[in-house]
Amino acid sequence: MSLQRSRRAIPYLLMAPGLLWLLLFFVIPNVQMLVFSLSEGTLRTGFTTPPEVWDIENYTGSVSKFSSNFSNSIVYGALATILCFLIGYPLAYAIAFKGGRWKNLLLFLVIAPFFTSFLIRTISWKIILGNDGPVLAIVRDLLHLVPANFSIIGSPLAVVGGLTYQFLPFMVLPLYVSIEKVDRRLIEAAKDLYAGPWRRGGLVAGAIFGAFALVALQVGLGYGAFIGEDAAPAAVVAAALVGAVAGGLVGAFLISQSFIRVTFPLSLPGVFAASILTFIPAIGDYVNPQLLGSPKTQMVGNVIQGRFLDQNDYPIAAALAFLLMAGILVAIFLYARLLGTEELTGGTA
């Protein structure tokens, strides 16, 4: 009887040290950050905390004061996630279905960027996109596509480009796992049942999606009037047309019905997981906007780190960080509700 009982305690004993660590250095710090976010004072003057004060002003004031940083974070994070998806899904699909004996090598190459420092990768983009770098040497000096005073560094394009690069592996790996799991026999069955090219449906869906994606990019990157003029109606229409034509062609000729009816729906949990795993670090980043952007492209992360580390204004910084955290927690719980916890943490037990 007592043996039975002690056996039942085993899992809890195994987990105790690790969970205690997370309690002490993850849960309690976040609770304390919540407390700070309602406090007043600075590191030098000392802090007055609840229950003596409940400074809601930290939240309401900072949301309006830093609204441009919040919108930068959301817009850049969303654009980077869309771009990661557009690049990452075909890549993950190719590795999972057509990888063959190259599969492991390709997966290794996808994570290879993680073997260099995050900062150095960003510095590399600063070199590549810089005013004396190779991209502008071709686009500006050789092809004369942009004016002589055009620069990429400092623009949202550079920041979004950097974020897209940094978090692409976060998109590809979960997508790969879920595409790999798709039962090939179902695809065979679909083909036996005359699933062919997507055709008319693909033309329409591809055109709509393509137009949407390109307009989002055009408006998102032009947002704040960085690149040339504001998002002019003509430019938006042009972007929509280009996107619609490209998307329509891809949808009609390159995508098969078996993919749309079988593979893609079965990989949807991976799409959600990958999008969340890409979006979260992207909206919290402050390295890319700092190194590749300008004062106008600063994101919430820049404000948080500046307030915490340079100005020691803990209450405002904590409120901002907590808003970021709260938004993400809501996203995770919604996600867990929709898809269950096992999908999040990898595979079925």
Which CB, 116 or 311, lies closer to another protein? Answer: 116
Residue with tokens 């974020």: 163
CA dihedral 234, 240, 244, 247 (to 10 degrees): 130
Smallest gap, in angstroms, from Cβ of residue 134 to another protein? 9
How far is the C-alpha of 221 from the C-alpha of 133, rounded, in Å? Answer: 21
SS3 340: coil
Applying CB under 8 A, the site for another protein has a residue count of 96
CB nearer another protein, residue 21 or residue 237:
21
**Binder among 46, 51, 233, 295 for another protein (CB under 8 A):** 46
Non-local (6+) Cβ contacts of 228 within 8 A are 222
Chain centroid to Cα 191, Å, comes to: 34
Residue 300: other Cβ atoms inside 10 A: 25
Q: Does residue 84 touch another protein according to CB under 8 A? A: no
List 63, 118, 232, 311, residue binding another protein (CB under 8 A) = 118
Q: Which residues in the 212-251 window bind another protein by CB under 8 A?
A: none
Among residues 56 and 254, whose Cβ is nearest to another protein? 254
Output the smallest distance, CB 231 to another protein, in A: 26
Q: Kindly tell me which of 92 and 240 has the beta carbon lying closer to another protein.
A: 92
By CB under 8 A, the residues from 175 to 214 that bind another protein are: 196-197
**Parallel, antiparallel, or unpaired for β 40-42 and 46-48?**
antiparallel
Ramachandran angles phi, psi of 74, nearest 5°: -65, -45
Residue window 3-22: x/- pattern of binding to another protein, with contact defined by CB under 8 A: -----x-xxx-xx-xxx-xx
**Three-state SS for 153?**
coil
| Cβ contact 126:292 at 8 Å | yes
Identify residues 26-45 at the interface with another protein (CB under 8 A): 26, 28-30, 32-33, 36, 43
Q: Per-residue x/- marks for another protein, 249-288, CB under 8 A?
A: ----xx-x-------------------xx--xx-xxxxx-
Q: Return the number of the residue (66 or 286) whose C-beta is nearest another protein.
A: 286
Sort residue 306 into left (φ over 0), alpha (ψ -120 to 50) or beta.
alpha
In the complex, minimum distance from the CB of residue 237 to another protein, in angstroms, rounded to a whole number: 28
Cα–Cα distance measured from residue 92 to residue 102, given in angstroms and rounded to the nearest whole number = 13
- Applying the rule CB under 8 A, the residues between 286 and 315 that interact with another protein are 286-287, 291, 301, 304-305, 308-309, 314
| Structure-block tokens of residue 177 | 């796992």
Among 195, 241, 325, 339, binds another protein (CB under 8 A): 325
